[in-house]
Amino acid sequence: MEHQVDVDITADFHTYELIWTSNSLEILFDGELLHRYNANSVNYIASLFGQKQKVVLNTAVGGFFFPNSSPSSFVDTAEMQVDWVQV
C-alpha cells in the first residue's frame, strides 16, 4: 500500500505521524495513511521496537510520497518551523 500526496508542503503546517508497533511502521500525512511497512526478516522493525530511539527532524524533501516537491526547487536557506513534537 503506497500513496502519493499532491499538495504544496510549504503552504501550511502539516501533521506527520509515524506509528510504530512491534509488527509494523505506518507513515501518515495529515491523518492519511501513506504507507505501511510490515516487519519481516530483512528489516529491523520488530527487533528495534520498544528500545530507546532518537527523533531527528530535517528539511529533506522529495521522495516517493511527495513527487511534486523536488529538492532542486528549494533554496539553500530552507527553514523548518515546528509547532510541536509528541512522542
| Ranges of each domain in the chain | 16-73
- Residue 9's region, left for phi above 0, alpha for psi from -120 to 50, else beta, is alpha
Beta bridge partners of 53: none
Asked if the model's pLDDT at residue 61 lies above 90, the reply is: no
Mean predicted confidence (pLDDT) in 45-52: 91
- The more confidently predicted of residues 11 and 17 is 17
**pLDDT value of position 57:** 87
Contact call for residues 25 and 45 (beta carbons, < 8 A) = yes
> How much is the average pLDDT of 47-71?
76
Coil, strand, or helix at residue 45?
helix
* Confidence grade of residue 81 (pLDDT, cut at 50, 70, 90): confident
At residue 6 the predicted structure's pLDDT band, cuts being 50, 70 and 90, is confident
